[in-house]
Amino acid sequence: MNVKNAFYAQSGGVTAVINASAAGVIEVCRQNKSKIGKLYAGLNGIVGALREELIDTSFESDDAISQLLHTPGGAFGSCRYKLKKYEDDVTEYERLIKVFRAHNIGYFFYNGGGDSADTCLKVSQISEKMGYPIRAIHIPKTIDNDLPFTDYCPGFGSVAKYVATSVREASLDIESMCASSTKVFILEVMGRHAGWIAASGGLAASKKGEAPHIILFPEIPFYREAFIERIETTVRQKGYCVIVASEGIRYSDGAHISGSMQRDAFGHQQLGGVAPTLASMIKQSTGYKYHWALSDYLQRSARHLASKIDVDHAYAAGRRAVEMALEGKTSLMVTIEREKGEKYKWFLGEASLENVANMEKKMPRNFITKDGFGITKKAKDYLKPLIIGEDFPPFKSGLPQYVKLKNILTAKKLKSDFHF
C-alpha cells in the first residue's frame, strides 16, 4: 500500500489563530501515520510548493506543535500569490503536480480566504485532469469574515474582540479630555468590501448612546454632509465623538474615499489612509481637534487578547480538514455552523469549493441601522458569541511567550527551479 504524504500551507494575511488550525492539521496527521506519511508545510504558502521549498514538520516536537495554539503570525510563512488561470498558463499547475508527485503528496490543505479557496479548487480539479488526483480541503481563515457558506471565519472573532476592546478603552480616554482637548477620534480598521470588522466596534457600547457614535461601512455609500452633521450633533450632545471606519468605504459612485493606484498580488487595490482623509474633512468643516489611529496589523496579530471561541474554532477546523480528506472527500471547505437557539452552540460542516471560491459575504442590510451609522440588535446577537472567552498565552518577564519552529526543509528532488 502506497501511503501518501500531505501538504499544508498558509495564505494571505495571517491571524492570531491561524496557527491553531495548523496545530490541528499536524496533530491529526500524526495520529494517522498508517494513512498519511509525512506532512510537509509550504514555506511561504503555495509559493513553497512552486519552489519545492517543503518544510518537514516531523522535525518539530509535539510540545512545539501544541504551542502553536497560542502563537500568532504564520508559523510556516504566508504569501499573497494567485495562481494564473489554467486556460492562460498551464506552467504553474504542471510545476505543482511535478512537485507533489516527486514527494508522493496526495493530500492538500490550504488555510486562507476566498482567493485561497480558489487555489484549493484549482489544485483539486487540475490534479485530476493531469492524472495525479489530490484530495484538496480548504481551511477557512480571514479576519474580514467574508467567506460564504460558513457562519463566520476563524480569525475574525479575535479581531472583533480586539477592535471592540480598543474602541471602549479609547473612548474613555477621549471622554476624559474632550472638554479642553480632542473632541473626535477615528479608528480605521480593515475591511475592503465587507464591514464586519467595523461592525464589531459597535460591541464596545453597553447601552444606547455610548461610543462608537459613528460606524462607516463599505456597504453603505459615504456622504460627507451627513457624516459631518452627525459629528456636530454628537459633539453638542456628548462633548465628543468616536468613529470606527472601514478602510473600504466608498462614495455613492463606488469610488473609495481613500486608496492608491497600486494593486496587490491578488489584483486588489491597495487601501488605507481613510482615517487621515476623514480627519481632514472634519478639520475643514468643524475645526474640532481630532486624533486618529490605525488598527492595521495590530488587530490581526493580537494573540494576547484572542477570543477563546475563535481559537477553538480554528483548531477544530484544522483537525476536521484532515478527517474529511481521510474520508475520501475533496474540493470542500470546512464550515462553522451555528445552531438555532438563544445559547450559542456550533458544529462543523462543509461546503463545495465551487460555490465558495472568489465569493464574498457582505454585511446584511438588517445588521446596519437605518441611518447607516450603527449596528442593530441582530448584528450584536450575531457578533457577541464570537468574542466570548479569554485564552491568554503564557507570559514570562511580563511578555507573552510564542514558539518559533525549526522549519527544516526537505531535500529537493527536482533538478530545475521554478521562476516567477
Residue 396: how many CB atoms within 10 A of its CB? 8
Q: What is the mean pLDDT of residues 107-111?
A: 98
Which of the residue ranges 19-28, 82-91, 294-303, 388-397 would you say has the lowest mean pLDDT? 82-91
Q: For residue 192, what pLDDT band results from cuts at 50, 70 and 90?
A: confident
pLDDT for the residue numbered 20: 98
Q: Per the omega criterion (within 30 degrees of 0), is the bond before 276 cis?
A: no
Q: In this prediction, what percent of the chain has a pLDDT beyond 90?
A: 89
Average pLDDT on 94-117 reads 96
Q: Distance (Å, rounded) from C-alpha 159 to C-alpha 197? A: 7
Q: What is the torsion angle, in degrees rounded to the nearest 10, for the CA atoms of residue 78, residue 84, residue 85 and residue 86?
A: -100
Per-residue pLDDT, averaged over 207-224, amounts to 97
In the structure, what pLDDT confidence band is assigned to residue 86 with cuts at 50, 70 and 90?
Answer: confident
Report pLDDT for 359.
86
Cα distance between residue 156 and residue 218, in whole Å: 17
DSSP string, 121-154: HHHHHHHHHTT---EEEEEE--TT---TTSS--T
Helix axes 274-286, 224-238, angle to 10 degrees: 70
**pLDDT average, residue stretch 34-58:** 97
Output the CATH code of domain 156-304+365-387.
Answer: 3.40.50.460
pLDDT confidence band for 96 (50 / 70 / 90): very high
Over residues 317-367, the pLDDT tens digits come to 999 999 999 999 999 999 999 999 989 999 999 999 999 988 899 999 999
Please say if 296 is a catalytic residue. no
Helical axes 308-326 vs 156-177, angle rounded to 10°: 170
Strand partners, 215: 244
Identify the pLDDT of residue 404: 97
Cell numbers linked to 259: 486608496
Q: Rounded distance, CA 283 to CA 72, Å?
A: 38
Mean per-residue pLDDT, 208-228? 97
Q: What is the pLDDT of residue 395?
A: 98
Give the pLDDT of residue 417: 78
Question: Domain 5-148+305-359+393-400 maps to which CATH number in 3.40.50.970, 3.40.1280.10, 3.40.50.450, 3.40.50.720?
Answer: 3.40.50.450
Q: Which residues, in sequence order, are CB contacts of 153 under 8 Å at separation 6+?
A: 113, 140, 141, 142, 143, 144, 145, 146, 147, 336
pLDDT at 265 over 80: no
Q: Which amino acid is at 283?
A: K
pLDDT in tens, 16-37: 999 999 999 999 999 999 999 9
Share of the chain above pLDDT 70, in %: 96
Please identify which of the residues 118, 144, 146, 310 carries the catalytic annotation. 144
Report the pLDDT value the prediction gives residue 272, as an integer from 0 to 100: 66
Q: How confident is the model at residue 260 (pLDDT cuts 50, 70, 90)?
A: very low
Cα gap 133→161, rounded to integer Å: 41
Give the mean model confidence (pLDDT) for residues 368-373: 98
The domain spans of the chain are: 5-148+305-359+393-400, 156-304+365-387
d(CA 360, CA 380): 21
Average pLDDT over residues 104-117: 96
408: buried, middle or exposed (CB in 10 Å: 19+, 13-18, 0-12)?
A: exposed
- Give yes or no for residue 123 having a pLDDT over 60: yes
Mean pLDDT for the stretch of residues 375-380: 98
| pLDDT above 90: residue 258 | no
Are 5-148+305-359+393-400 and 156-304+365-387 equal in CATH topology?
yes
Type and span of the H or E element at 278: helix 274-286
8 A C-beta contact, residue 178 and residue 342: no
Determine contact, residues 409/55, Cβ cutoff 8 Å: yes
Q: Strand pairing of 395-396 and 399-400? A: antiparallel
Q: What is the mean pLDDT of residues 373-397?
A: 98
CA pair distance 302, 17, nearest whole angstrom:
9
Question: What pLDDT, on a 0 to 100 scale, did the predictor assign at position 416?
Answer: 77
What is the average pLDDT across 100-127? 95
